[in-house]
Amino acid sequence: MFNDMLILSTAISSFNNAALYSPFFFTVGLLTLPLLFIVYIYGKDFVEKIGWDKNNFDNHISFWGALSLLLWLMLFGGNYAVIRDGISLLPVLISFILFGFMIIAMQKSVQLGYIKKLHNKKQRKIKWLLFIAGLFMTVFSSVLTWWGILLQTSAVLCGSIIGLRLKKDMSLIPWIVIMLTLVVIAVLMQPEYFRFGQLGNLTIVHLLAIVCAGFFAITSIVTKYTNPRERIHHSAYIKLKWLFRIMSLLAFVLFVMTESVPVFVGMTCALGLSEMLSVYHSKNISENVPKLALGMLMVSLGIIIICPVLSALGIIYAVFETNGIKCKDFAGLL
């Protein structure tokens, strides 16, 4: 009565839909909690033993964070066939992300002395093997058309050249934060491609994870570049604060309903304005807040994209640069 192949394809389709609908990343995140707890306790001592100190710590975090995301984008196996629109901006955005992270990785490799070590005659074979392997991964991780291969390959090569010659330092805040935020936006644009979920059927767990990443991203930038002034009248501050809170809440409700990238960006900007108002109204703010926010951004994004290395780097950064992870540092911003 029924075709066997039809039954099999229907079962496989139902299994895939269920797998996409469930928050698999959250389950993996829970399973990696013991590992992250060990990193929280022993991570600082470990990186100090391998030569990380206050002088080169930011460069190490930038380099290994950028390298882990470059490898993740190339090796995790995204499928361009799941893109719904005939003309999608996702390949362009991914190429831009590869371009940015390549600039950061190459610049930090020069500053850390990794490039000089490869100039040795004995290391030339390793250098060429790394170059060929990187080019191979870049080609086969792109859209397998002439323009897809050309787009990502040129992005990686141009990023490498610029990174080797760039003199302006690409600091963690804001450059790493901007690049991590672009990764979050890319995941939200096409969650099926990143095996994050199914667009239109994201659960509240998926959405809260995206919102947390956006909150930490905007917090790190706002608290870094906004100076406390204590010049706003208290009554005006209360009214404006509640205005931005209501705007953020309405934007969050709309984001849950639409799962839209523009709404997510608008909600994040509303949160940023609210935090900017809080910082501007206060007498002072802890210097640990932007660093802690960046660390938590790396942790949350690592959980979202199932990249424990990035989460571990975020915990190490937060512990090394601050006196520990304290939620009360964010209480005054909300």
> For the segment 304-315, what is each residue's pLDDT rounded down to a tens digit?
988 899 999 999
Domain ranges, ordered by start, for the chain: 23-50+199-334, 53-170
Between the alpha carbon of residue 164 and those of residues 9, 65, 103, 168, the distances in Å are 50, 18, 8, 11
| DSSP string for residues in 120-172 | SGGGHHHHHHHHHHHHHHHHHTS-SSHHHHHHHHHHHHHHHHHHHH--S---I
- Residue 313 in 3-state DSSP? helix
User: What's the pLDDT score for residue 249?
Assistant: 92
Comparing 54 with 122, the larger pLDDT belongs to 54
Side chain identity at 42, as an amino acid letter?
A: Y
pLDDT tens digits for 40-93? 898 888 888 888 888 888 888 989 999 999 888 888 766 666 666 666 788 888
